[in-house]
């Protein structure tokens, strides 16, 4: 199954949601099905980027309040509603980092580090893994976001583009550049350590 099909399978067809959105623009109570549908996905997105669970719940609530407040301005232009919500989540996250209500965190599974190492064509060892984890926070925030979405959240380039307001191709190119940068940082640090 292609990545885009998996994406729509996960979030449903956009046409199904448009009717709910139009009704919710007139009466916010009609938004409930969309809230139930996306609450978990938005929470997981936020949770992986903050250090405290409670902050993640608070930010998730703020995302939906902001979404409902701005719903009258929402127009479907080929971008799924979920991506619009993720964009709001992204801006709410950065707002809370600026306000120091939450701390920027990267949540990684050991398995996913292996995937990045595979991409670098470096054999897995405890030392190399340590070096990679050490250099990861040295990336620019925009590059970190791409690596996070692609390798730690397994998002398609299309989905990444929609969330980050990039074309699919641009997301691909920027992820590739972020990987090169990460590899450079890794090589430098690894050489110093050796």
Partner 1 sequence: MIKLLIDRQLPSSDAIAARRNFSEILHGLPKKKTINSPWFYGAIGFSSVIFLILLNFFV
Name the site residues for partner 1 (rule: CB under 8 A).
Answer: 28-29, 31-32, 35-36, 39-40, 43-44, 47, 51, 53, 57, 61-62, 64-65, 68-69, 103-110, 113, 133, 136-137, 144
Shortest spacing between CB 53 and partner 1, in angstroms: 7
Question: What residues contact residue 181 under an 8 Å CB cut-off, 6+ apart?
Answer: 139, 140, 143
Nearest-angstrom CA–CA distance, 21 and 99: 31
Quick one: 4 or 70, whose CB is closer to partner 1? 70
The DSSP code sequence of 153-169 is S---HHHHHHHHT--HH
Quick one: 130 or 165, whose CB is closer to partner 1? 130
Shortest spacing between CB 113 and partner 1, in angstroms: 8
Quick one: 112 or 170, whose CB is closer to partner 1? 112
- Tell me the C-alpha to C-alpha distance, in Å, between residue 116 and each of 21, 155, 159, 193: 39, 14, 19, 20
Quick one: 25 or 44, whose CB is closer to partner 1? 44
Nearest-angstrom CA–CA distance, 39 and 129: 33
């Amino acid at each position: 199954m292609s990545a885009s099909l998996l994406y729509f399978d996960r979030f449903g067809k956009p046409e199904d949601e448009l009717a709910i959105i139009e009704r919710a623009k007139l009466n916010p109570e009609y938004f409930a099905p969309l809230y139930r549908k996306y609450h978990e996905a938005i929470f997981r997105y936020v949770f992986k980027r903050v250090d405290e669970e409670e902050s993640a719940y608070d930010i998730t609530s703020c995302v939906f309040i902001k979404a409902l407040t701005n719903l009258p301005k929402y127009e479907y232009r080929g971008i799924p509603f979920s991506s619009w919500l993720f964009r709001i989540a992204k801006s709410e996250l950065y707002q809370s980092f600026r306000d120091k209500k939450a701390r920027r965190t990267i949540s990684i599974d050991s398995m996913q580090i292996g995937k990045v190492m595979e991409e670098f064509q470096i054999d897995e060892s405890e030392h190399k893994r340590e070096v990679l984890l050490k250099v990861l926070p040295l990336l620019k925030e925009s590059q970190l976001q791409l690596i996070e979405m692609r390798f730690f959240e397994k998002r398609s380039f299309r989905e990444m583009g929609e969330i980050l307001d990039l074309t699919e191709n641009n997301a691909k190119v920027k992820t590739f550049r972020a990987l090169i940068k990460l590899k450079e940082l890794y090589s430098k640090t690894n050489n110093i350590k050796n």
